[in-house]
Amino acid sequence: MAMKRQHGQEQPYIPLGIFKFRLPFIHYRWEWSECLQAILMCATCLGAIPILETVLGIPYDVAWSMVIINGFFYCIHAFFGDPVVPGWITPAIPLVIAFLETSPIGVERTQTMIALQLVVGMIFLFMGLTGLAQRVIDFVPRSIKAGILLGAGFSAIMGEFGPTGRFNLYPKTITIGALIAYFLIFSERFKRMKKSSKIWNAIGNFGMLPAIIIAVIIGPLSKELPAPQLVVGSIIKIPEIGRIIELVTPFGPTGFPNVAKFISVIPTAFMVYIIAFGDFVSSDALIGEARKVRTDEKIDFNANRSNLLSGIRNIIQAFISPYVNLCGPLWAAVTASIAERYKQGRESMDSIFSGVGTFRCMTFICVALVPVASFVRPTLPAALSLTMLVQGYVCGRIAMDEAQTPMDKGVSTAMAAVLAMKGASWGLAAGIILHLICSDSSKYTNELDNKEI
């Protein structure tokens, strides 16, 4: 039986400096609602397979093995005291893909991926160790932040509808799936429906999953995708470590990136961190809301600890399983869903860690289950398209909120177009130059001074 906490105290843990070590069944109870949700939502995690196959040019089984390894490292956040569900750096995926595609597929592109993930990981570590994250983000002008996000949105949608995009292969599946996803996630009408019906509210809490399920149905009916096949001959997929080392790690024939390669990834890595920083702000807000409702548990969210854990994941995976989706600090939709159930009281969910810990442990188990992966495999390309289209919408919406002045909107739009068409380095350079030309530097200096105060 899991340890019990006293009212108003932290959930029991083993102290390890800034980290607080907890294990399911020992330090917190197993939550069956989150277990069920994880079984369904692991399909989203498996959506990384077609990205890895396409961008790195690796076989399905190797990509699946890498997803399983990534699933294990998701668990370290709950294990070491971070009260959120971690995920990909999703808004950055189109930027990363566009940047990687400037290198020829094979050894050179894989080395670029390794270098990028290592630099991203080192930025996370540096920010976590020094606590400089907020200062750096404050220093970046709003016009450039908005340009990065808008460029990511453009890249995501343009990639799906371009000459080589997946829409050309699965038009009916993607159209219907995208419309359903947009309705369930963004529609004001559906938000009202959720408030008036527990059924609609339950469906809405699953985020994109209902749209992916529809894609499983529409794809075979339209003959755009093969019908799912349930493989039951074996149960657990054992990661193919040897083939991963041979194909994508620096310890195999790929080798370590040179200094020039590390220098070339710095602009993209910097933009990835700016995008990821928004997740720390969202995490703090979600946990803050939960604290106000649940006074029976003291929840310790520490952005420095979250930076460190994200950095550790990225650095380790860069060496053993470089991951195009990268390792981010938050899966916002699922964290929000768990936080909402947590607010219902201790009988509903004992601890925030029992919710996030159960979910991430179960997704790790499920991505390694052969029947689950075999069933969703035919629809993974369409599911990836839906993810990119939803991400494009989100990036654009956040960018519009970030750009407050007419100058911000103009600079960010021009920067985003250059970024989407020419890549991260060109886009960042264009944004910096346009901001210097168009902005009133005295106003920007005053804004920074006010933030210091």
Residues 370-385 have pLDDT tens digits of 988 888 888 778 877 8
Lowest mean pLDDT among 49-58, 195-204, 292-301, 320-329: 195-204
**pLDDT > 90: what percent of the chain?**
46
Do the domain assignments include residue 238? yes
Mean pLDDT of the chain: 87
Do the domain assignments include residue 277? yes
Do the domain assignments include residue 397? no
Which residues face 15 on adjacent strands?
A: 20
Do the domain assignments include residue 420? no
Q: What is the per-residue pLDDT for 444?
A: 55
Q: What is the per-residue pLDDT for 148?
A: 82
Do the domain assignments include residue 77? yes
Looking at per-residue pLDDT, the higher value among 362 and 427 belongs to 362
pLDDT-derived band at 388 (thresholds 50, 70, 90) equals confident
Q: What is the per-residue pLDDT for 446?
A: 57
pLDDT in tens, 128-165: 898 876 677 667 888 888 888 888 888 888 888 888 78
Residue 107 has pLDDT above 60, yes or no: yes
pTM: 0.80
Do the domain assignments include residue 88? yes
Number of domains, the chain: 1
CB 158 within 8 A of CB 149: no
pLDDT in tens, 198-250: 888 878 766 677 887 888 789 889 989 888 777 777 789 999 999 999 999 99
Do the domain assignments include residue 144? yes
Looking at per-residue pLDDT, the higher value among 367 and 185 belongs to 367
358 is in which domain, residue-wise?
A: 14-173+229-381
Do the domain assignments include residue 224? no
